[in-house]
Amino acid sequence: MRDVAVLGVGQTKFGELWDRSFREIGIEAGLQALVDAKLSSADLGGLFLGNMASGSLIDQEHIAPLILDYAGLSGRHLPSVRVEGGGASGALALHQGYLAVASGLYDFVVVGGAEKLTDVPDATAAQITSSAADHEWEVVFGATLPALWALMARRHMHLFGTTREQLASVAVHAHAMGAKNPNAHYRNKLSLEQVMNAGPVAEPLGVFDCAPLSDGAAAVVLGPLETAREHTDTPIKIAASQVACDTLALQHRDDFTTLGSTVVAARRAFQRARRAPADVHVAEVHDAYTISALLALEDLGFVEKGAAGPAFASGRFGPGGTPTVNPSGGLKAQGQPFGAVGVAQVVELVRQLRGEAKERQVSGASLGLAHNVGGTGATSVVTLLERAN
Amino acid sequence: MSIARFWRETPRRYNLGGSKCGNCNTVYFPPRLVCPTCPQHRATIEKMVPFQLSGEGEVVSFTVVQDAAEGFEMQVPYVLALVRTVEGPVLTGQVVDVEPKDVAIGLKVKATFRKLREEGKAGVIHYGYKFTPAAAPASAAGPRGPVEPVRPTEATARDRAVA
């Protein structure tokens, strides 16, 4: 296994991109990443594409060769592979790209993530994305993704005294960060009162506790760390990329306030990188729901189990925090195009570690963590990125 | 959804038929072909035996759903809960015949056979388990909405006949 670096990044705006098609956004992000990496497409070994539900959302399966084709690369007959893992599809694709380069099979790969959620009505998109939960034993009985996360939220409140205000503070934080991100779906600030008084979705979660359904794409170019400086002055090393899985249905877990997959993926990642949670300067965590962010901060090891609510509400994870959490605005404000999320998290971290994040810059950041979750935690992917010396 | 896809699950959805590991005696619902908790995982293949759940349990967590799943739009607001059965497995299902404000963690419930949802006017009607309070709360005003048309005893008998 050889070390792998991120050489280039690209991302479209996230949001309701009504004038742009799936193939357009997918290609835009990929081409940006290629240009950023100063890489000729002649050097590419393959493409990995994270996407959750194109078949249901745009009636198009077999999208990996489609994106390759419209990127102008089909004539070279490169391998192009789609990867699916619910909302963690993007980071799973990154994991596959990482393995491909680390193994030596390919030198350079593009990893993309793309989703087009607004070509169907909102309710349809919500139903389609709920298939990341167990259809037969959860959805058929009336469950939705927000309802399942609400079950975790209620249990967390019951066991640890987490409050409605503490949950709401996660959304307030996300929008404050997203206001500084030109690619964000939402750039408006939210007050605690606005979040708490918003219409209920699945109590205790309201409309503003839930990340939006967005269109968007993101891409990175990966290559061997050894020759990375031929492409960039600031190569970012993938210090670890770890995947862990759990039961598909929430009901089968021993603990409804811990994502076992996140705990294990994080532990493996920190072991691999020989680092600890306290070393992380900046983290992009999966805040699909406000409760998701609180569980993530506990399960990743940034705070004790049960302590994330007060810690978050006290501002510990804001600018200058330990770590600074979701400078991009997270899924809540930057947006939630399912298959693109995990790749976009890495795009943001690369910009942070390169020192190119402008208004959002976390000063002196040299170690970043990305945390991407599928469904209610059946898949978690933790990626550690560090600035190479 | 095709009729067969729903129909093949009726022994579980209508009658709470689970399975038990012949090695460690842990009960599972829905049934499993292999035991997820036995240290000797492979040794449990073909050792899983059918096991009937009683339907009694208690609420571990719950939410009041306002933004419904597809086919449940007419039922909002509805209570969805994680129910730990006395035999061990946790089931996801609605808690009905009770006001949402009277549902709490720890509430004792029992499974009941109900209509889950309809796939439009001409589509398949899905039946299965929901939960009701084991003892009627003092403030309960009786069942909300019309009584479901299928009696649980009939369905149970039919499933046993099929099985």
DSSP assignment of A79-140, as one string?
A: -EEEE-BTBTHHHHHHHHHHHHHHTTS-SEEEEEEEE--TTS-HHHHHHHHGGGS-TTTTGG
Domain ranges across chain A:
4-121+214-236, 131-211+239-387
pLDDT band for B121, please (50, 70, 90 cuts): confident
Instruction: Enumerate residue ranges in chain A where pLDDT < 70.
Output: none
Distance from CA of A373 to the nearest CA of B (A): 21
Identify the CATH assignment for A131-211+239-387 out of 3.40.47.10, 3.40.630.30, 3.40.50.2300, 3.90.550.10. Answer: 3.40.47.10
Here the tokens at position B20 are 């038990």
Distance from CA of B95 to the nearest CA of A (A): 11
Instruction: Judge: A155–B9 Cβ closer than 8 Å, yes or no.
Output: no
Q: What is the pLDDT of residue B149?
A: 43
CATH architecture of A4-121+214-236: 3-Layer(aba) Sandwich (3.40)
Give the torsion sign (CA, A325, A331, A335, A336).
positive
Three-class secondary structure of residue A220 per DSSP:
strand
User: To 10 degrees, what angle do helices A338-354 and A89-102 make?
Assistant: 60
Higher pLDDT among residues B79 and B121, named by residue: B79
Q: What is the pLDDT of residue B135?
A: 85
Q: What is the pLDDT of residue B136?
A: 66
Q: What is the pLDDT of residue A218?
A: 98
> Has residue B158 got a pLDDT over 90?
no
**Bridging pattern class, strands A108-115 and A216-224:** antiparallel
pTM reported for the whole predicted model: 0.94
> Has residue B151 got a pLDDT over 60?
no
> Has residue B152 got a pLDDT over 60?
no
Q: What is the pLDDT of residue B137?
A: 56
Candidates A144, A201, A256; nearest CB to B60: A256
Question: Which of A135, A208, A251 to substitute to test the interface with B, most B CBs within 10 Å?
Answer: A251
Tokens 């449990």 map to which residue? B44
What whole-number distance in Å separates Cα of residue A311 and Cα of residue A303? 8
What whole-number distance in Å separates Cα of residue A280 and Cα of residue A269? 12
Of all residues in chain B, the one with the smallest CA distance to A205 is B63
* Chain A residues close to B68, C-beta within 8 Å: 142, 144
What are the residues whose beta carbons fall under 8 Å from the beta carbon of A46, sequence distance 6 or more? Answer: A78, A79, A80, A81, A100, A106, A109, A110
Percent of all residues in chain A with a pLDDT value above 90, rounded to a whole number? 99
DSSP 8-state symbol, A257: T
Q: How many other β-carbons are positioned within 10 Å of the β-carbon of residue B104? A: 10
Instruction: Judge: A256–B82 Cβ closer than 8 Å, yes or no.
Output: yes
**Nearest C-alpha neighbor of A298 from the set A284, A312, A319, A288:** A312
Cβ contact A356:A347 at 8 Å: no
Size of interface A-B (CB pairs under 8 A): 101
DSSP 8-state symbol, A215: B
pLDDT band for B138, please (50, 70, 90 cuts): low
Cβ contact A294:A371 at 8 Å: no
Do the first three CATH levels of A4-121+214-236 and A131-211+239-387 match, i.e. the same topology? yes
Predicted confidence (pLDDT) per residue in A28-68, tens digit = 999 999 999 999 989 999 999 999 999 999 999 999 999 99
> Has residue B161 got a pLDDT over 60?
no
What are the residues whose beta carbons fall under 8 Å from the beta carbon of A164, sequence distance 6 or more? Answer: A157, A196, A204
Instruction: Judge: B82–A137 Cβ closer than 8 Å, yes or no.
Output: no
Q: What is the pLDDT of residue B1?
A: 66
Give the torsion sign (CA, B84, B88, B93, B97).
negative
Q: What is the pLDDT of residue B147?
A: 42
| Cα separation of the two ends of chain A | 20
Domain ranges across chain B:
17-52, 56-135
Instruction: Judge: A136–B63 Cβ closer than 8 Å, yes or no.
Output: no
Cβ contact A225:A237 at 8 Å: yes
What whole-number distance in Å separates Cα of residue B34 and Cα of residue B21? 8
Tokens 């036995």 map to which residue? B38
pLDDT band for B120, please (50, 70, 90 cuts): confident
Q: What is the pLDDT of residue B141?
A: 47
pLDDT band for B156, please (50, 70, 90 cuts): very low
DSSP chain B: --HHHHHTTHHHHTT-EEEEETTT--EESS--SS-SS-SSGGGGTT-EEEEE---EEEEEEEEEESSPPTT-GGG-SEEEEEEEETTS-EEEEEE-SS-GGG--TT-EEEEEEEEEEESTTTSPEEEEEEEEESS--TT-----SPPPSS-HHHHHHHHHHH-
Candidates B9, B80, B91; nearest CB to A142: B80
Percent of all residues in chain B with a pLDDT value above 70, rounded to a whole number? 82
Predicted confidence (pLDDT) per residue in B29-56, tens digit = 999 999 999 988 899 999 999 999 999 9
The amino acid at A374: G
* Chain A residues close to B105, C-beta within 8 Å: 154-155, 158
Higher pLDDT among residues A39 and B2, named by residue: A39
What are the residues whose beta carbons fall under 8 Å from the beta carbon of A341, sequence distance 6 or more? Answer: A87, A90, A91, A113, A286, A331, A372
Q: How many other β-carbons are positioned within 10 Å of the β-carbon of residue A216? A: 31
**Chain centroid, CA B8 distance in Å:** 16
> Has residue B148 got a pLDDT over 60?
no
Q: What is the largest CA-CA distance in chain B?
A: 52
Q: How many other β-carbons are positioned within 10 Å of the β-carbon of residue A192? A: 14
* Chain A residues close to B65, C-beta within 8 Å: 142, 144, 147, 150, 201-202
Instruction: Judge: A140–B94 Cβ closer than 8 Å, yes or no.
Output: no
What whole-number distance in Å separates Cα of residue A364 and Cα of residue A359? 14
